[in-house]
Amino acid sequence: MRKIANLAFIAGSLTMLTTLILIAAGIDNAKLAFLVGSIVAAFGRFASYQKTDDIVLRRLMVQQMLASVLFVGTGALMLTTLRGNEWIGCLCIATVLEMYSAFRISHIEKRNNNS
């Protein structure tokens, strides 16, 4: 199950990245594909959640899940907003949370493996 969840997260993330490039190029039909990709990535993130005793790792994993929900919210904002730029703020917040959490988790896991 974990392998399928990781593949779903990777496929969803690549879909989101590709559709963001298409949206920047002016193709508006890619917004729905971004929403689908973010839902697939969120499914992969939630399915790969692992319980841990370390409170810091648990907090960082919850932050990653929050970022996944914000990515889904970004896709919904892309489809529903009239002016069209509100989704960029949500995307920025989700990206910062995701990047911070990913780097901190890898740092803490390295530290725990070395001790």
Q: Tell me: the pLDDT tens digits for 46-102?
A: 998 888 888 999 999 999 999 999 999 999 999 997 777 889 999 999 999 999 999
Segment 39-54, tens digit of pLDDT: 999 999 999 888 888 8
Name the nearest CA neighbour of 45 among 87, 11, 93. 11
* Phi and psi at residue 22, to the nearest 5°: -65, -35
Q: What is the pLDDT of residue 75?
A: 94
Q: What is the pLDDT of residue 2?
A: 83
Q: What is the pLDDT of residue 47?
A: 93
Domain hosting 47: range is 2-114
Q: Domain tally for the chain?
A: 1
Q: Show the tokens assigned to 34.
A: 């971004």
Q: What is the pLDDT of residue 60?
A: 94
Residue 42 CB burial class (10 angstroms; 0-12, 13-18, ≥19): buried
Number of helices (H), then strands (E), belonging to the chain: the values are 4, 0
CATH number at residue 37: 1.20.120
